[in-house]
Amino acid sequence: MMKQIQWFPGHMFKSLRQIREKIKLMDIVLILLDARLPKSSMNPELLQIIKNKPTLILFNKMDLSDESILIDWMAYYEDLGFATLKIDAQSGKNVSKIHDAAQKVLIEKIERNREKGLKDRPLRTMILGIPNVGKSTLINQLSKSSATKTGNTPGVTKAQQWIKLGNDFELLDTPGVLWPKFEDPNVGYHLAITGAIKDKILPEDDVVQFALKFLQKFYPNRLKERYGISIDLDYVEMLDTIGRQRGALLKGAEIDYQRVYSIILTDIRNKQLGGLSFDRL
């Protein structure tokens, strides 16, 4: 497995270096995590870099998550000293609360400025998150327009570009891509199941096997409701049951496993098995 994902470290160190360089310019850092993966979508190295920096952690895709588990993760990060908010950037749910939450983190600084007679200004920020976590979706929601791209001309990106997001924020035009870290092989599977890393980086068969075993352990009733799978089936029996139930068959009534894999992953990603959380405290 590690062999196929060796291209990550280079990207990861480069983006962490960029973040370290730019962080001084920020009033506040917004970290976007996947609400289904409060641990796997966090790069632990980032926690070192943002130490002592005002930070708000946003748990995006709350609509797809198991909120009973998410609550505990939010408390976990709050205990570490971070402000938190769960959002759904696609529908816009709670997006309007982000500015208030950020201001709350910065209240002392803002009040000092107000006492000096300074007017509130947009907060300078960076939105950091792993690929596919919803950064562009959130940026579009915050700016209420899709015209957030500037500085694509060579040379222009060298200068510091601030993009206004509505009246509340100014975003630094540096891609906030945070590469995931794969010390724990489960993290790779969690990212693959939710579609954060591309299909084919890990063998699909392994990913689906991991997913079904996980669901069997933590969400057996959901599997039963959706596919009629009883708890004691082994992996291949589960695939066969799903394949037959969904008509994923080849000629001669053999199971079309490729289609079964895709049915399962699509169902998970589209909430057909309900809100899920893959990280456990």
Residue 83 to residues 8, 65, 78, 105, 223, Cα–Cα distance (Å): 29, 19, 6, 7, 35
Please name the residues in contact with 19: beta carbons below 8 A apart, sequence gap of 6 or more: 46, 49, 126, 128, 176, 178
The nearest distance, CB 169 to ligand G4P, in angstroms, is 16
Query: Where does this chain bind ligand G4P (CB under 6 A)?
Result: 60-61, 63-64, 88-90, 129, 131-137
The nearest distance, CB 39 to ligand G4P, in angstroms, is 18
Residue 94 or 209 with smaller CB distance to ligand G4P: 94
CA pair distance 198, 8, nearest whole angstrom: 13
**H-helix or E-strand spanning residue 263:** helix 257-269
The nearest distance, CB 249 to ligand G4P, in angstroms, is 28
The nearest distance, CB 245 to ligand G4P, in angstroms, is 25
CB atoms within 10 A of CB 216: 20
Report which residue type is found at 101: A
CA pseudo-torsion sign 108, 173, 41, 94: positive
The nearest distance, CB 238 to ligand G4P, in angstroms, is 26
Name beta bridge partners: 83: 56
CA pair distance 73, 262, nearest whole angstrom: 29
The nearest distance, CB 9 to ligand G4P, in angstroms, is 20
Residue 53 or 271 with smaller CB distance to ligand G4P: 271
Chain residue whose CB lies nearest ligand G4P? 134
